[in-house]
Amino acid sequence: MFEVLKRSAMGRLGRWTHDGREVTTPTVAFVDAEGFPAPDWAEVITARAGSSESRATIGIGGSFFIPAEPRGEIPLPQRSGLPPGMDLEIPREAARGAVALSASLAQIAAAEGLEVVFLEGGPSFLDRPKDFVRTLVEARTKFGAARLLAVPGIAAPHTIGVLVYCGVDLLDSSRVAYETSRGRFLTADGSVPREGLEELPCRCPSCAHGGPLLDHNDHALWQELAVARTAIRHGTLRELAERRAVNDPWATAVLRELDLRHYEFQELHFPVADGAVKAYSPSALTRPDVVRFQRFVASSYRKPPSPRVLVLLPCSARKPYAESRTHRRFMEAIDACGNPAAVHEVIVTSPLGLVPRELERSYPAAHYDVPVTGDWSRDEVGMLAGALRAFLERNRYSAVIAHVTTEAPFVREAVPDAEFTAVGRPAADESLAQLTDALRRAVGTGPAVSAPQRRLEDVASLARFQFGSAGEDLVAGASLRGRSPFVRILRGGRQLGMVTDRGPISLTLEGGAVLAKARTACVDIEDFVPQGNIFAVGVVGATPDVRVGSEVAVVHGSEVRAVGVARMHAGEMVELRRGEAVRVRHRVPPPNA
Range of weakest confidence among 18-32, 165-179, 443-457, 518-532? 18-32
> What pLDDT does residue 252 have?
97
Residue 58 has pLDDT above 90, yes or no: no
Residues 564/585, Cβ–Cβ less than 8 Å: yes
Same domain, 461 and 437: no
Residue 158 scores a pLDDT above 70: yes
Give the pLDDT band of residue 51 (cuts 50, 70, 90). low
Q: What is the CATH number of the domain that holds 143?
A: 3.20.20.105
**Same-domain check for residues 462 and 495:** yes
Please report the pLDDT score of residue 488 as a whole number.
97
**Burial level of 75, CB count in 10 A (0-12/13-18/19+)?**
buried
Residues 423, 562, single domain; the answer is no
| pLDDT score of 84 | 34
Q: Are both 19 and 149 inside the same structural domain?
A: yes
Give me the pLDDT at residue 111, please: 58
Domain's final residue, options 414, 443, 472: 443
C-beta of residue 94 within 8 angstroms of C-beta of residue 83: no
Confidence of residue 561 (pLDDT cuts 50, 70, 90): very high
Among 267, 290, 314, give the residue marking a domain's end: 267
Q: What mean pLDDT comes out for the span 6-11?
A: 97
Confidence category of residue 583, pLDDT binned at 50, 70, 90 = very high
Domain boundary among 423, 443, 463: 443
- pTM exceeding 0.85: yes
CATH classification at residue 338? 3.40.50.10630
Which pLDDT tens digit goes with each residue over 416-432? 999 999 998 999 999 99
**pLDDT attached to residue 86:** 30
Domain shared by 311 and 235, yes or no = no
* Averaged pLDDT for residues 536-565: 97
CATH number for position 577: 3.10.400.20
What pLDDT was estimated at residue 537? 96
Q: Which residues touch 285 (CB under 8 Å, ≥6 apart)?
A: 350, 351, 379, 380, 383
Residues 460, 434 share a domain: no
Query: In this predicted model, which residue has the larger pLDDT, 114 or 323?
Result: 323
What would the DSSP string read from start to end of 443-483?
HTTS----HHHHHHHHHHHHHHHHHTHHHHHHHTT-EEES-
User: Of 92-96, 487-491, 556-560, which gets the smallest average pLDDT?
Assistant: 92-96
Q: Are residues 460 and 350 in the same domain?
A: no
Q: Which pLDDT value is given to residue 343?
A: 98
Residue 37 within any structural domain of the chain: yes
Range of the domain at 437: 301-443
Residue 280 in domain: no
Instruction: Give every CB contact of residue 225 below 8 A, 6+ residues apart in sequence.
Output: 26, 27, 28, 160, 164, 171
Judge if 148 and 34 occupy the same domain: yes
Any domain includes 141: yes
- How high does pLDDT run on average in the chain? 90
The total of structural domains in the chain comes to 3
